[in-house]
Amino acid sequence: MTCDTPSARPHTGNGLVFPHGFLWGAATAAYQVEGAVAEDGRTPSIWDTFSRTPGKVRNGDTGDTAVDHYHRMPEDVALMAGLGLGAYRFSVSWPRVQPTGRGPAVQKGLDFYRRLTDELLDKGIQPVVTLYHWDLPQHLEDAGGWPERATAQRFAEYAGIVAGALGDRVKLWTTLNEPWCSAFLGYGSGVHAPGRTEPAATLRAAHHLNLAHGLGVQALRAALPSSARTSVSLNLHHVRPLTDDPQDLDAARRIDAIANRVFTGPMLRGAYPEDLQADTAHVDDWSFVRDGDLAQIHQPLDALGVNYYSPTLVSASGSGTDTGADGHGASDHSPWTGADDVAFHRTPGRTTAMGWTIDPGGLEELLLRVHADFPGLPLYITENGAAFDDYVNPEGEVRDPERIEYLRGHLAAAHRAIGAGVDLRGYFQWSLLDNFEWAYGYGKRFGAVYVDYATQTRIPKASAHWYSRVARSGIVPLEG
């Protein structure tokens, strides 16, 4: 999994040349693709409960079947191999492995991930495991969920179980995917499971997710060989002020604190930012942070995953905002604890089917900032991609030139960042397959591979073939 510190080579007549050993992959999440929600001992997760609650997910869609990856896994791995992918980033379903979030594992659940890992390795594809991608066992939510300290302790036990089953074959591990969404969309705005709208609970949830990460890293290191690498994937918001007015600059600072530094502070510096605590003091006194917690959270990491889709544009309150302009769905309740009066604005430019502005420059700027803030920490782009209104044409093809241009632009931005000294080791397209897109149901298609949900037929899109050529050659063509 390791490679030497990359350095970008100048583009040739064929395109932008990425470093030797750069990892080209795609990613998915268990609840979005697996289906089989009641098979082999799996019990409901918070997303099973949430998606079955009327009005929470568009069209009443659920992940009950999703794209049936649980049964079609060998076919999907063969697809990856046919596309020349070097790595597959997948998440493990906690309630499939440990149905109540405590106690011994269900071996049938672990066996699925053992088979998946073996299939990948047999095809020359590196498995990259994410332990938590939002599917908390409902049993643990019933006991209080992430706002409860015990959930972090349960996560560490679960991490040890999965590491014991797959540690001899998986070299790169991710503890959490986008804990911001779990804490602030799940317990603040309520647009994600479990759908709670409790500002104080967001801060407690964020802290216990941080603690789960630290305890999880320790559990992984106790079970894994020394060659294994640990990481976390954060959806770091690239926040821009609307103007240079001091009030707008302060609005950007406040959003940066509650979106980014609430995790990077304790995880990578060993402390919560003082301005974050001051901004949120009226919500909670932070007494949930106990002696020794920050040392537990601040574990050395081998890499950091960066998820990026679009920048965030903000101004001080009173200057107007667009509903849903923060990119995280409309709600009467704010996810921005302590900064709920900040105004969000649509960034100018072309947008995806999600309404998110296409801005590759934001990715470059974000990578440069992370590199400057945490020099020496290798980075992976663990999610980047776009939803468009894809369809099968009369020839049976899915042509998606907009996605090809999106990928080309963002990979060019990544190449520029490498040229500027960023230690970027790999890129994972979101996502491998069209799938259940959380509260949007099946209405948004992010996949490299088109899925006909009625028949489960898979059709690689034109962008998948384009990305396949990039993955095989390590060269991003400048055109075509």
What does the pLDDT look like over 255-280, one tens digit per residue?
A: 999 999 999 999 999 999 999 999 99
- Integer CA distances (angstroms), 56 to 151, 191, 192, 355, 387, in order: 24, 7, 8, 20, 20
Determine how many CB atoms are found less than 10 A away from the CB of residue 60. 12
Residue 32, classed as helix, strand or coil, is helix
In the prediction, which pLDDT does 4 show?
Answer: 42
Any idea how long the chain is? 480
The token duo for 247 is: 């009030």
In the prediction, which pLDDT does 334 show?
Answer: 96
What does the pLDDT look like over 295-331, one tens digit per residue?
A: 999 999 999 999 999 999 999 986 555 667 899 999 9
Tell whether the model's pLDDT for residue 480 goes beyond 90.
Answer: no
**Cα–Cα distance for residue pair 310/365, rounded to 1 Å:** 12
Residues marked as catalytic = 178, 383
What does the pLDDT look like over 339-356, one tens digit per residue?
A: 999 999 999 999 999 999
Q: What does the mean pLDDT of the chain come to?
A: 96
**Cα–Cα distance for residue pair 257/275, rounded to 1 Å:** 7
Alpha-carbon dihedral angle through residues 255, 259, 260, 266, given to the nearest 10 degrees: 110
| pTM for this predicted structure | 0.97
Compute the chain's Rg from CA coordinates.
Answer: 21
Residue 138 burial by Cβ neighbours in a 10 Å radius (0-12, 13-18, 19+): buried
Confidence of residue 236 (pLDDT cuts 50, 70, 90): very high
Tell whether the model's pLDDT for residue 3 goes beyond 80.
Answer: no
Q: What are phi and psi for residue 401, nearest 5 degrees?
A: -60, -30
Tell whether the model's pLDDT for residue 121 goes beyond 90.
Answer: yes
Residue 394 burial by Cβ neighbours in a 10 Å radius (0-12, 13-18, 19+): exposed
Nearest to 208 by CA among 165, 276, 149: 149
What does the pLDDT look like over 325-341, one tens digit per residue?
A: 899 999 999 999 999 99
